[in-house]
Amino acid sequence: MPRDPGAAADLEAGAQAAPAPKRRTRVTRNPERTAAAIMAAATQEFAEKGMGGARIDVIARRAGTNKRMLYHYFGDKEALYLAVLEEAYFSIRHAEHRLDLTRRDPEDGIRELALFTWHYFLDHPEFLGFLAAENQMRARYLKRSTKIRSMHSNLIIELESVLARGAASGVFKPGLDPVGVYLTIAALGFFYLNNRYTLSTIFNRDLEAPDALEQWGNHIAEVTLAHVRA
């Protein structure tokens, strides 16, 4: 019996039009990626609005997740803020460690640490914001950290080694306090940047001009070296 061409065409068209069976898509969770996204969003939100003004729902939205997941990973807003603070300190200490101060010539080591600190402050204004905010709160949240002191001990050990080698070779004064040397470096940079707008106005000088920033970085290095030299 001959086939009906019209019927065959109808069947073929129907076959083509029939939707393919849906395949289930398996969603794979990536806890590390989610936590990193929350941290990045929280850093931005806390840097812009501080602990009091930051909102959890905004952080969750920026991170592409929801508040339930945020609480699951970090517990609450205060715990998240502390995690952001610890990460900010870890980042600068980790970057400092790459300077490898213990293997450098003592004078080069001090100069590099001074310039590195200055440029880190320039490149990470959020870090200075966290410092200022936490000082206003008298280190209320930082005191809760169980990690901060160990982060800073490595920096002091390395700086102490540089100063001791410099003293042994007669280049540096003996008995220098590594904490005091670091405070000299950090204070000169922190004060300049935290007060650059008022100082620029008072002295009618653009303290944010590239040449002014470069000169001040070199000034920090020279002042610090002048302090430690024998």
What is the tens place of the pLDDT at every residue in 4-26? 444 434 433 444 444 555 554 44
**Unique residue bearing structure tokens 């080069």:** 108
Say which CATH superfamily domain 77-228 falls into.
Answer: Tetracycline Repressor, domain 2 (1.10.357.10)
CA–CA dist 31, 62 (Å, integer): 16
What is the tens place of the pLDDT at every residue in 130-185? 999 999 999 999 999 999 988 888 899 999 999 999 999 999 999 999 999 999 99
54: left (phi over 0), alpha (psi -120 to 50) or beta: beta
Q: What is the pLDDT of residue 23?
A: 53
CA–CA dist 15, 18 (Å, integer): 5
CA–CA dist 105, 34 (Å, integer): 43
User: What does the domain layout of the chain look like in residue ranges?
Assistant: 31-75, 77-228
What is the tens place of the pLDDT at every residue in 41-78? 999 999 999 999 999 999 999 999 999 999 999 999 99
What is the tens place of the pLDDT at every residue in 84-106? 999 999 999 999 999 999 899 99
Q: Which fold has domain 31-75?
A: Arc Repressor Mutant, subunit A (1.10.10)
DSSP 143: G
- Give how far Cα 51 sits from Cα of 59, 90, 109, 195, Å: 12, 19, 36, 22
Do residues 199 and 208 lie in contact, with contact meaning Cβ atoms separated by under 8 Å? no
Q: What is the pLDDT of residue 11?
A: 35
